[in-house]
Chains A and B, each alone.
Chain A
Amino acid sequence: KAGVTQTPRYLIKTRGQQVTLSCSPISGHRSVSWYQQTPGQGLQFLFEYFSETQRNKGNFPGRFSGRQFSNSRSEMNVSTLELGDSALYLCASTTGGSETQYFGPGTRLLVL
C-alpha cells in the first residue's frame, strides 16, 4: 500500500506571497492532519480534517488554512508568508478511529 505523499517537496517563496501544499493520504484513510516542524519549536499541530470537515485546530494564526476533498486528499494554504513560516510541513493520515498517524516526507518551505 502506498504511503502518504506530499507535493511539492521543496518550495521557495518571498514574504507576502501565499503558498498551497498538497497531501494524499494512505488509501482508505479518511483523516489528514498537518504539522509544522521547525528547529526551535519542534513539531506543532496545525489542524486535522476528517470527511471534508476541520475537526480540530492548533494554535496558529488564521493565515494558515486547509481543506479536504471528497477523495480525502488535503491541501493547506498559508497566506501573507512571513520569514518565520520557513519550516518542514508534514502531513499525517489515519483511519479516523485510530490514534496511529502515518507521516509523509514533508514539504520544505523556505521564505525569503
Chain B
Amino acid sequence: QKEVEQDPGPLSVPEGAIVSLNCTYSNSAFQYFMWYRQYSRKGPELLMYTYSSGNKEDGRFTAQVDKSSKYISLFIRDSQPSDSATYLCAMKTGSGGGADGLTFGKGTHLIIQP
C-alpha cells in the first residue's frame, strides 16, 4: 500500500463547476499537508498549506483535512479553464532539522472544459 493514494484522473468538469480533489494516507505521523498545482513541463506551485484538521480557505480554494480518517481534500470553486493542471497532494511528518522530505501523491489531472 502506498503511503499516499490519489486518483490520477483525468477528471473533466465544465467551467464554473465546483471541483473536489482528494487524497488518503496511511501514515498517521503526517502532520503537515500541502496542495500543489503543476502545469505541463513546469515545477509544482504551492497552493495551500495546513497542519490542523478542519478547513482553510484562500480565495476560490479550500483545503480540508480530516486526520481521524486520514483524508485530505482540495475544493476549487468557480473553476476556470486556467485551472486545468495536475494537482498534487503532499505531506510531511516532522519539522525543522532532521525532518523528512515531502511525500507526494501521484497527482490528479484536472481538465476544465470551457
**Interface of A toward B, CB cutoff 8 Å:** 4, 33, 35, 42-48, 50, 55-56, 58, 90, 92, 96-97, 99-106, 108
Where the two chains meet, the residues of B that have a C-beta atom closer than 8 Å to any C-beta of A are 32, 34, 36, 41-46, 49, 51, 88, 90, 92, 95-107
A45: chain B residues at CB < 8 Å are 100-103
Contact A43 B88 (CB under 8 A): yes
B45 touches which one: A46, A103, A106 (CB < 8 A)?
A: A103
What's the minimum C-beta distance from B23 to chain A, rounded to whole angstroms? 12
Complex interface: chain B residues within 8 A of A50 (CB): 97
Given A42-B105, A100-B46, A100-B49: A55 and B97 interface contact (C-beta under 8 Å): yes
Q: Quote the shortest CB–CB distance from A55 to chain B (angstroms).
A: 6
Neighbouring B residues of A58 by C-beta, 8 Å: 101
Q: How far is the CA of A102 from the CA of B45 in the complex (A)?
A: 7
Q: Is the interface of B mostly helix, strand, loop or mixed?
A: loop
Chain A, Cβ-Cβ closest to B91: A99
A103→B43 contact, CB < 8 A: yes
User: In whole angstroms, how far apart are the Cα atoms of A96 and B96 in the complex?
Assistant: 6
Give Cα distance in the complex from A56 to B95, angstroms: 12
Task: Return B35 CB to nearest CB of chain A, in Å.
Answer: 11
B34 CB contacts on chain A under 8 angstroms: 99-101
User: With the chains together, A56 CA to B100 CA distance in Å?
Assistant: 6
Say whether, besides A104-B43, A105-B42, A99 and B32 are in contact (CB < 8 Å): yes
Chain A residues with Cβ below 8 Å from B95 are 97, 99
Contacts of A96 in B (CB 8 A): 96
Beyond A33-B101, A48-B101, A96-B96, whether A43 also contacts B44 by CB under 8 A is: yes
